[in-house]
Amino acid sequence: MVNARKLRQVSNLDLKLLKTFIAVVQAGSFTGAESLLNLSRSAISIYISDLEKRLGMKLCNRGRAGFNLTLEGQKVYEAAQKLMHATDIFQEEVNNTYAVLKGELNIGIIDSLVTIPHRTISDALAKLKQTSSEIRINIRMSNPADISLALLEGELDVGVMPSLQPIDGLKLQPLYNETSALYCSSRHPLYADQDTLYSIGQHSAVLPIYAQQMNQPQLFDQLNVTATSNDREGVAFLILTHEYIGFLPVHYASRWVEKGEMRALLPDVLQYQTDFYVATRQTQRNKRVLDVFLAALVDKPAKPN
């Protein structure tokens, strides 16, 4: 039985225990939090027990029935998130007072943009690094939906992604566009075939899971879609099984095209353009590191690709 008591001050140890508790809640279990925290399940269990003793209340139920928060645990979780958010704001505001630029940049990028010839993002990150050696850059590769959610929840400062539909709460700034074509591998029956829409439609195709949000219904409806992937690298994997055809960015597929391992099918007909944007929160708090990065990113607008 945990005895209720008042928390008179928050120590560094308390912050460590609260961060562990947040990770467990977000992972949904002690086991799920192991990889996030790089801690063993037994160590996590000890940390949560210590936090419960420190606060004088039971925070969660764990056992054969699974993991779930108590009413007190839910309130502590919400308060802990506010505390961590306030700590981040304090750290950013202090960093902004330094003459030397300091702080973190958390950026989310859709996969397979690194092969774009003009390297707009890499050049901007290089300028940021050249501005100060006191900057920590954290890159998360993900799909548009996850990047949007992470931006809205404050986990990311900026995202680079296609705009699939209007997103309340996010500000989008045009960056460049990208051309995608339909590809098959060198061992696929279509590789040596004469391209027709009918023959292409007879073979299995793979699409990214966000394709249904793109304004290409007539183009995609002509395909026999039997597989999906949450990123473009997954599409490439399936194309290289020699069993599927799929759309890939031209710049990304060029490595296989040049080796004769892929070719585009009806490239004058089966291709589309995707507009990419720099996304930030509309209510973005002041952060000098982000401002410097955005200024470098849009300094020289990229040519269409």
| C-alpha distances in Å from residue 223, one per residue of 11, 197, 278 | 59, 9, 31
pLDDT, position 299: 66
Domains and CATH numbers, the chain: 12-95 (1.10.10.10), 103-169+279-297 (3.40.190.10), 177-274 (3.40.190.10)
Positions of the chain with pLDDT lower than 50, given as ranges: 1, 300-305
Q: Which residues contact 25 (CB under 8 A, 6 or more apart)?
A: 60, 69, 73, 77
Per-residue pLDDT, 161: 87
pTM: 0.61
From CA 262, how far away is CA 246, in angstroms rounded? Answer: 11
pLDDT at 169: 85
- What per-residue confidence (pLDDT) applies to 94? 66
Collapsing DSSP to helix, strand or coil, 277 comes out as strand
Q: Are strands 170-185 and 103-110 parallel, antiparallel or unpaired?
A: unpaired
Spatial separation of the C-alpha atoms in residues 303 and 236, rounded to whole Å? 25
Output the six-digit token pair for 284: 């973005």
Q: Which ranges of the chain does DSSP label H, i.e. alpha helix? A: 12-27, 30-37, 41-55, 71-95, 120-131, 144-152, 197-201, 217-221, 232-239, 250-258, 288-297
pLDDT of res. 1: 47
